[in-house]
Amino acid sequence: MRVLFWGTPEFAAPPLRALIGEGFEVVGVVTQPDRPVGRSRSTLEPPPIKKIALEEHIPVLQPERPRGDEFVAQVAALEPDISVVVAYGHILPTQVIDLPRFGTINIHASLLPKLRGAAPIQAAIRDGHAETGVTIMRMVRALDAGPSILQARTLIPDDETYGELQLRLAELGALSMVEALTLIGLGQATETPQDESQATYAAKIDRAGTKVDWTNDAAIVSRTIRAYDPRPGALARSDAGDVKLFGARVADVVDAGVPGEVLEIGSEGMVVACASGAVQIASVHPAGKRRIAPHEWARGRGIEVGERLS
């Protein structure tokens, strides 16, 4: 089966490597353009998927947007049997979705119809879901609304971060994708329409959404911090300025104090009061500085016991 692969971030790397390792013929990779990085913005950084494609001598297409006669002609020239989309970052036009003879499938990091949208992994942790998973679905023009071909489930441990869960789901998605492609090739795939009445949405992460609300209880605050660890980081405000927080867990305290109050700073982290209970923070990233342990931050007079974070 000739596969055209679409993807950009690290989450897409395990599925692409699985396709190559399982002997599928990857006829091309479509990813986003190289982006400027660094303080001067003078260096262009290729997407992770492009690096893999070049190592494997796979043709790479990098349109600003996946549309237009010229681009469609380039895709058609690759003669794919099917397209596989994994966190590509753009909605595909119907002409492109329908071009391969088996159409286009997508790996989505949730149990659809739950958590459609751009940030399902973060939302699953932040909202306290006991389990999540991946869905291999038929791609349609509407957002994450196509029929499901295959789902795989996994529990979410109480201490798991977004980065850790993302890695597990990428591997789970790779295995599920290979199984789905095999079923499609054999003509044995079953497509199940989604129940629209059960649909929920996980919006794209913005700065305001990462703000920690200390008036929530400790379990909710801990989940918020873990949902944005390691990127983009949960945001709080100290007397010294903005700070991002990482490595949260519910602390073992009896009398927590005022929400946002720093109760302890030690070698194991910083304990901060919530409306009910407290959380222990393993590391911090103050604005304009590097990521450090809280006791290092305190030693540099960036924080002290008794101060309140907002």
Instruction: Please name the residues in contact with 290: beta carbons below 8 A apart, sequence gap of 6 or more.
Output: none
pTM for the complete prediction? 0.94
The rounded percent of the chain whose pLDDT value lies above 90 is: 92
- The mean pLDDT of the chain is 95
pLDDT of residue 57: 97
pLDDT of residue 42: 78
Residue 156 near residue 125 (C-beta atoms within 8 A): yes
Query: Which residues on neighbouring strands pair with residue 276, listed in sequence order?
Result: 217
Q: Has residue 15 got a pLDDT over 80?
A: yes
pLDDT of residue 40: 75
Sign of CA dihedral 258, 259, 262, 266: positive
pLDDT of residue 257: 83
Q: Has residue 37 got a pLDDT over 90?
A: no
Nearest-angstrom CA–CA distance, 69 and 91: 17
Q: What is the mean pLDDT of residues 167-183?
A: 98
Nearest-angstrom CA–CA distance, 241 and 36: 27
Residue 52 pLDDT grade (very low, low, confident, very high; cuts 50, 70, 90): very high
**Structure token digits, residue 240:** 């010294």
User: pLDDT digits over 240-269, tens only?
Assistant: 999 999 999 999 886 678 999 999 999 999
User: pLDDT digits over 223-241, tens only?
Assistant: 999 999 999 999 999 999 9
Tokens 């992770």 sit on residue:
48
What would you report as the CA-atom Rg of the chain, rounded to the nearest whole angstrom?
A: 22
Residue 201 near residue 114 (C-beta atoms within 8 A): no
Minimum mean pLDDT range among 1-10, 76-85, 248-257:
248-257
Helix H, strand E, coil C: the string for 68-135 is CHHHHHHHHHCCCCEEEEECCCCCCCHHHHCCCCCCEEEEECCCCCCCEECCHHHHHHHCCCCEEEEE
Provide the 3-class DSSP secondary structure of residue 237.
strand
Query: Which residues on neighbouring strands pair with residue 86, listed in sequence order?
Result: 7
Residue 67 pLDDT grade (very low, low, confident, very high; cuts 50, 70, 90): very high
Sign of CA dihedral 255, 257, 260, 263: negative
* Burial of residue 183 (number of CB atoms within 10 Å: 0-12, 13-18, 19+): middle
Q: Has residue 139 got a pLDDT over 90?
A: yes
Q: Has residue 197 got a pLDDT over 80?
A: yes
User: pLDDT digits over 121-130, tens only?
Assistant: 999 999 999 9
Sign of CA dihedral 159, 160, 163, 164: positive
Residue 39 pLDDT grade (very low, low, confident, very high; cuts 50, 70, 90): confident
Q: What is the mean pLDDT of residues 271-278?
A: 95
Query: All domains of the chain, ordered by start, with CATH?
Result: 2-202 (3.40.50.170), 208-299 (3.10.25.10)
Distance, first Cα to last Cα, the chain: 54
Q: What is the mean pLDDT of residues 119-146?
A: 96
The rounded percent of the chain whose pLDDT value lies above 70 is: 99
Q: What is the mean pLDDT of residues 97-102?
A: 97
Q: What is the mean pLDDT of residues 294-299?
A: 96
